[in-house]
Amino acid sequence: MFKRIYLIILILQFIIACGFTPTLKVSEENNSSPKIYYEVQIGSYIAKQTLNKYLKNIAEEESKYTLSIDINETESAVNIRSDGSVVEYRVEASIIYQLIDTKNSELIYSSQSRGFSNYDVSNSEYTNTLVKNEALKTAINDAAQLMSIMVQSKISE
């Protein structure tokens, strides 16, 4: 009986102390995002407000990087009936950005990202305006997510 208990304890000790070490250490340094000051140069009021909700801006004095952003919005017909009336539109939000080192005023990276969204115009004019604004917000959020990923990867290089 004593040998069986000793054997079970020995096997459990071997399983528990198998020597596993994690390959990725999660620390505060890894989780902290770089300090970036965002300035939106060009864009509509809705576009600027949507981008400000998505991005967390800090004071320019505290920032390590500056991101200069231009937002362009285009709208095009996607689905046109045979009588010439438009049923569906596509909104495209293009964000052109430049990542600048604040201390050196040196350009680190420059690129653009795009987001798309479609909306239906078969309802009333008031509803169409609301749906268009929501489609624009969706397109801007998609473009901002891609921009954020690219900026984070360029900073971490």
CATH code of 109's domain: 3.30.160.150
pLDDT band at 4 (very low <50, low <70, confident <90, very high): confident
109: Cβ contacts below 8 Å, ≥ 6 apart: 98, 99, 150, 151, 154
| 7 pLDDT above the threshold of 80 | yes
Establish if 17 belongs to a structural domain.
no
* Paired sense of beta strands 86-101 and 106-120, if any: antiparallel
Q: Using CA atoms, how far apart are residues 93 and 85, in angstroms rounded to an integer?
A: 24
Question: Are 51 and 72 a contacting pair, CB within 8 Å?
Answer: no
The tens digit of pLDDT for each residue in 18-67 reads 666 656 655 555 445 667 777 777 777 888 888 878 777 777 777 788 88
Counts for the chain of helices (H) and strands (E), in that order: 4, 4
Tokens of 124: 């009333």
Helix (H, G, I), strand (E, B) or coil at 89: strand
Establish if 46 belongs to a structural domain.
yes
Establish if 13 belongs to a structural domain.
no
Number of domains making up the chain: 1
pTM of the model: 0.69
Establish if 142 belongs to a structural domain.
yes
60 is in which domain, residue-wise? 33-156
The tens digit of pLDDT for each residue in 124-134 reads 777 788 888 89
